[in-house]
Chains A and B, each alone.
Chain A
Amino acid sequence: MNFISKHLGALAAGVAASVLVAGAAFADPAVIYDLGGKFDKSFNEAAYNGAEAWKKETGGTFTDLELQNDAQREQALRRFASQGANPIVMAGFSWGTALGTVAAEFPDTHFVVIDAVVDAPNVQSIIFDEHTGSFLVGAIAALKSQTGTVGFVGGMDVPIIHKFYCGYAQGAKAANPNVKVIENYTGTTPAAWNDPVTAGELTKAQFDAGADVVFAAAGGSGLGVLQAAADAGKFSIGVDSNQNYLHPGSVLTSMLKRVDVAVQNSLTDANFKPGLTVLGLKENGVGYALDEHNQALITEDIKTAVDKFSAEIQSGAITVHDYTVDNTCP
């Protein structure tokens, strides 16, 4: 009887799995992307690139899923866990609640969550020092700005995006104490991650208000910011992935958040380390992008100044305020 029910269970899981992801093999690691989509050229795409890099490096295979709405979170986790996927890596700050519930149900499965913190013995939480990376691009923005006004367009109005803003504003002020920083958010629902039109309008409004460099921390919506800046002949700053190549000459730099490296490392189960992992400037978890597309824009003076800031942050000479600690921005 037990034998039969076991097999029925496996069969059911198999059917469920084949509905969810056709042809999934058992015991492969799984990656779940957040709303905004696998190819948002930003956060989720970084996760995807990391997984692809892992595949190339190890020759292994992984299964993945793009979330369509918030209600699918627990469901997707349960299905992957019951089908035996291990470890299960998910990217996005909204995973906290769903993972907290599901992790307790599957104590033998290893979960890795990026951008959220879940306290469970079988969960590794990876967070980034976005505020220090944002500090550096804020300094670049202020040093590049001719008008003394720089802009910030966030995605959804949530604490983690305020963390970007706070670091950005502090960095801009460190480089130029008289700088004015304009702060806007695309929306208050998850749709704000995928609304380039509104983000573009916000950017145009910031240009009208005198800004000439705008930092987009907005996932897929950021593409609208970059486009608006390219149209207006002004500068933009990309986020998460290196977006310099999208509009060479207009994208000043990108605030790198090495989600790809985090995903690549965590897909190998041997690297699993329960608890909190923080990736900052020291670990190369965050930084700014410098490549052939923006070499001409980042002058030697800017580079020297920013590298000095970076060293000072790492040595502790400069403390960058983390918004998520006390939910305020000085």
Chain B
Amino acid sequence: MDLGIILSTLDATLRLSTPLLLACLAGLYSERAGVFDIGLEGKMLASAFAAAAVAAVTANVWLGLLAGVAVSITTASLQGAAAITLRGNQLIAGVAINMLAAGLTTFLGIQWFGQGGRTPQLTTDGRFQNITLPFANELSGVPVIGQIYSELISGHNILVYVAFLAVPITWWVLYRTRFGLRLRAVGENPKAVDTAGISVTKLRYQAVLITGLLCGLAGAFFSIAQGSGFGNNMTAGKGFIALAALIFAKWKPVPAMFTCLLFGFLDALQIRLQGAEIFGIDVPVQAIQALPYLLTVILLAGFIGKAVGPKAGGVAYTKER
């Protein structure tokens, strides 16, 4: 393993952990406010489809992103209405969103584009291009540090940077602002928040809408940044992996980032280990592909200790009368 291979593996790690990280932070806002969200997957899928569809028709990546985020926020408010206002079961609302998104994206895809649920391939203008950071080319000759900067840090699309910027921002919002304090409180003890004269419903809606925004970015990443067009069920369970990461990180933003990086790294490693020999044995593809999931189970079961979620999570708030 020389530096080049290590760097390219880490480079892929950043790419692969970006959607996980965005989805994980999305779930963090919602769950910290006491609304369990297993509909991350569905919101991402809906956004991925909307983004690709609009980007394909308009050939404008920003309009695509806007459409993706708008659809995700709309879906989130629908879920919010069911789970907050109507006090429905939060898990079932999430499952419903997942099923709706899986069916509707394929159906609309077939109706609109007639390509078996796929959207047309995007042109260059319809996709986020990789950004070369300043001085990346000049510094690429400098050993180690220059290489790390030019190959690992530079050369990603904008959503990758947004995802990693969202981590300190989320930390700051959550722990250093009044809104964050209230958000955390509403997930632990909504009655206390209500007694202080703050609307529980409003806070939870705000959290769910932020979740929608972040899921929208994650979904758009799949179809108009990493990929080039929408394919059936293209999020492939990443929403659930993000949920696992959220629990693993105990609902905290910085650990969430490291967990997502770990999952992304395992995925990147899996792709590179295929067909490789380990200790002289040809490892079957199946074993390597199961590795990230196997490690997830082991880590979740054995290494994190007790993960206790927000106390009021999963319970709809009913004001006493």
Contacts and interface: CB of A to CB of B under 8 A. Distances in A.
A205 B286 CA distance: 18
Interface string B251-278: 0000000000000000010011011000
A39 B115 contact: yes
A205 B271 CA distance: 7
Residue of A187, A205, A224, A246 ringed by the most chain B CB atoms within 10 A = A205
Contacts of B317: none
B231 interface: yes
Nearest to B115: A39
Contact of A197 (B8, B114, B222, B274): B222
Interface in A182-226: 182-185, 187-188, 191, 194-198, 200-202, 204-205, 208-209, 220, 223-224
B12 A205 contact: yes
A185 B222 contact: no
Interface string B229-243: 101111010000000
- By Cβ-Cβ distance, the 9 closest A-B pairs, closest first, are A37-B116, A208-B8, A39-B115, A39-B116, A227-B228, A205-B271, A184-B274, A197-B227, A188-B286
Interface of A: 36-40, 44, 66, 157, 182-185, 187-188, 191, 194-198, 200-202, 204-205, 208-209, 220, 223-224, 227, 246
B43 interface: no
A44 B118 CA distance: 14
B5 interface: yes
Given A37-B232, A201-B12, A208-B8, A223 B121 contact: yes
Report the interface size class on chain B.
Answer: 20 to 34
Contacts, number: 78
23 contacts: A36-B116, A37-B115, A37-B118, A157-B285, A184-B274, A185-B285, A187-B289, A188-B285, A191-B233, A195-B231, A196-B227, A197-B226, A197-B231, A197-B234, A197-B236, A201-B268, A202-B274, A205-B268, A205-B272, A224-B227, A227-B227, A227-B228, A246-B121
Interface string B130-150: 000000000000000000000
A19 B277 CA distance: 51
Interface of B: 4-5, 8, 12, 15-16, 114-118, 121, 222, 226-229, 231-234, 236, 268, 271-272, 274-275, 285-286, 289
Given A188-B289, A246-B121, A39 B114 contact: yes
Contacts of A205: 8, 12, 268, 271-272
Nearest to B235: A197
B113 to A, nearest CB: 9
Contacts of A200: 226-227
Given A188-B289, A197-B234, A201-B16, A39 B118 contact: yes
B231 A194 contact: yes
Contacts of A198: 271
Contacts of A157: 285-286
Residue of B15, B16, B222, B274 ringed by the most chain A CB atoms within 10 A = B274
A62 to B, nearest CB: 17
Given A188-B285, A208-B4, 19 more contacts: A37-B116, A37-B118, A39-B114, A157-B285, A182-B275, A183-B275, A194-B231, A194-B233, A196-B229, A196-B231, A196-B234, A201-B271, A202-B274, A205-B268, A208-B8, A220-B231, A223-B121, A224-B228, A246-B121
Contacts of B4: 208
Contacts of B286: 157, 188
Nearest to B236: A195
Contacts of B16: 201
Given A39-B115, A66-B116, A187-B289, A202 B271 contact: yes
Contacts of B115: 37, 39
Contacts of B8: 205, 208
Nearest to A246: B121
Contacts of B227: 196-197, 200, 224, 227
A184 B226 contact: no
A198 B12 CA distance: 11
